[in-house]
Amino acid sequence: MGSITPDFRFGNLVGSIIQLVLVILAIVTVLILPMIFFALFFVPLPVVNGQVLTPYLFFSMVVDPSRTLPIVKFLMHTALFKAAIFPGFLFASLIAAATIFIERKLLAKMQLRVGPLYAGKVEGIFQLLADGLKLISKEIIVPSGADKPIFWLAPVMFVSTSAAVVSLIPVAYGWVVADLDVGLIAAFALLGFFPLIALLYSWASNSKYPFLGGLRALHQMIAFEIPFFLSALPVVILSGSLNLTEIARSQNIFWNIFVMPINAFVFYISSLAELERIPFDLPEAESEIVAGWLTETSGMIFGLIQLGSYLKLYALSALFVILFLGGWYGPQIFPHELIPGASSSNISLLKIIALDGLYNAVTVNSIFWFTIKTFGIILLMLITRGVNPRIRIDILLHTGWYKLIVLTFINLFVVLTLIYGGILGPGGIILPK
């Protein structure tokens, strides 16, 4: 911010805008339109008005209001949309990006400073974009003697495993990428893959500090997986199913956290340890082992690992919400129709504006409450970062192997007592709907 900006000339501004528009048009025409056509040939299209929808028909229908909304609705329910945009990769990435920005600002306010301020007009809101562009343009330095296939593959594996965990999370009823019957066990199995990736990457870096960091990451993540599973066990017993959607639906009367607060606490601590966040960021302890197993990452590899980390943060917070905080249930605050009386009228423009057929009040409400609760848990994880120093490895292992497991067993006995006493669970007095 110490540079002198050149004098403003309106002609230059107009010229640059026109140049930008022309470049965008050129790229859209040469690249994006063919790609859309190509994709549409392979995406199954619905039958509308007795005609099989072809890509050419698709484009001509955009201007006809009565046929646009059903197409959009159909496309929104395809697997590709769910996996890539909502509630899959793009949604999670946006939440991860917002988390990074909020974290930097929140920590700055706690520490008597301002945080990112200059990138973007409003309080540095484009800082993340600037950082991403910077990371893409950096050179990736591979250490000599490093194991090249694993060195290049491990970050990609990291991001893809995080994305796989994200794909199991239901955001609203019916909105989940992979609706498995054993969803919870699949989530834990995927989480068990992360220590392996850390160890492989640290070994492939061929250097002492990553080696120490990788061993620490291995010890830490394995030590906290057991309290992690055990704290979710009473939830499964209560709801009678391993499917994440069913677990969330079984909490429509009361939230699980009121019955098992200790387990929620243990789950929270274990997820902090799985995420390698302060106070458990030993594998990247900066003052002892430079940057731990991430020492040799540079450029986009570092960017990928950050993205994977924050996707995992979102996934574990969302898991906490689904297991203990009642998933997506909350008071209905969205109206039944966006514009009352629109669906029964005949004016098609009104129907488009009211998103008739597309807008489902219950779903939007679910998404809203789910997002609010997830952000609440993420905020809790961020505040812990500002207040605590780093823990030492032997204290951490002692906590993970002894204290947390004992705490989970206490809550397990409480829940079992309630179930066999006939109060909760299937066949009890308080039944889920």
Partner 1 sequence: MSNLEEKIDEAKKLSMQIVKDTEDDRLMTLSVGPQHPGSGHFRFVIKLDGDYIVNVDPDPGYVHRGHEKMCEYRNYFQNLPQLERPALHDSSNILYSYCLAVEDLVGIHVPRRGQFIRAIASELDRLVYTQYWLAIYGIFLGHSTMFMWPAGDRELIIDLFERFSGHRVTHCFSIPGGVRNDFPYNFKEKCLTQVNYFEKRLKEYEHIFYNNPLFRQRTEGVGILPKEDAIKLGVTGSVLRASGVPYDIRKVEPYDIYDEIDFKVQHMKTCDSFARSYIPYLDMVESCHIIRQLLDKMPESGDVRVKLQGNMKGPPGESFKRVESGRGALGYHIVSDGASRPYRVKISTPSFRNLIALSYLLVGSKLGDMPSIYWSLNYWPIEADR
DSSP character for 399?
A: I
Q: Give yes or no for residue 285 binding partner 1 (CB under 8 A).
A: yes
Q: Give yes or no for residue 115 binding partner 1 (CB under 8 A).
A: no
Instruction: Determine the Cα–Cα distance for residues 160 and 92; give it in Å rounded to an integer.
Output: 13
H or E element: which one contains 47? Answer: strand 47-48
**Residue 187 or 294 having the CB closest to partner 1:** 294
Q: Of 290, 271, 186, give the one whose Cα is nearest residue 228.
A: 271
Smallest distance, partner 1 to C-beta of residue 209, A: 8
Question: With CB under 8 A as the contact rule, which of the stretches 5-13, 60-68, 284-292, 418-426 interacts with partner 1?
Answer: 284-292
DSSP character for 429?
A: S
CA dihedral 248, 251, 256, 258 (to 10 degrees): 150
Smallest distance, partner 1 to C-beta of residue 393, A: 5
Question: With CB under 8 A as the contact rule, which of the stretches 25-33, 70-78, 182-190, 277-285 interacts with partner 1?
Answer: 277-285
- Residue 349 phi, psi dihedral angles, 5° rounding: -65, -40
For 238, the token pair is 């209560």
| Residues in 389-408 that interact with partner 1 by CB under 8 A | 389-395
Work out the end-to-end distance of the chain between its first and last CA atoms, rounded to an integer number of angstroms.
59
**Residue 380 or 431 having the CB closest to partner 1:** 380
Region of residue 54 (phi > 0: left; psi between -120 and 50: alpha; otherwise: beta): beta
Instruction: Give the number of other CB atoms < 10 A from CB of residue 414.
Output: 16
**Residue 138 or 392 having the CB closest to partner 1:** 392
> In 167-260, which residue ranges form alpha helices assigned H by DSSP?
183-191, 194-204, 208-239, 244-249
**Residue 30 or 387 having the CB closest to partner 1:** 387
Instruction: Give the number of other CB atoms < 10 A from CB of residue 101.
Output: 18
**Residue 283 or 308 having the CB closest to partner 1:** 283
Among 208, 253, 372, 403, binds partner 1 (CB under 8 A): 208
Among 272, 278, 404, 407, binds partner 1 (CB under 8 A): 278
**Residue 215 or 318 having the CB closest to partner 1:** 215
Among 60, 111, 252, 417, binds partner 1 (CB under 8 A): 111
Among 290, 361, 414, 416, binds partner 1 (CB under 8 A): 290
H or E element: which one contains 319? Answer: helix 300-324
Smallest distance, partner 1 to C-beta of residue 125, A: 22
**Residue 169 or 285 having the CB closest to partner 1:** 285
Q: Match 């980390």 to its residue by tokens.
A: 309
Q: Give yes or no for residue 107 binding partner 1 (CB under 8 A).
A: yes
**Is the CB of residue 305 less than 8 Å from the CB of residue 336?**
no
Question: With CB under 8 A as the contact rule, which of the stretches 22-30, 109-117, 267-275, 423-431 interacts with partner 1?
Answer: 109-117
| Residues in 326-385 that interact with partner 1 by CB under 8 A | 385
Per DSSP, the three-state class of 270 is helix
Q: Give yes or no for residue 110 binding partner 1 (CB under 8 A).
A: yes
Per DSSP, the three-state class of 171 is coil
Smallest distance, partner 1 to C-beta of residue 113, A: 6
Among 30, 112, 122, 429, binds partner 1 (CB under 8 A): 112
For 65, the token pair is 């209001």
Give the footprint of partner 1 on this chain (CB under 8 A).
Answer: 107, 110-113, 208, 212, 278-279, 281-282, 285-288, 290, 385-395
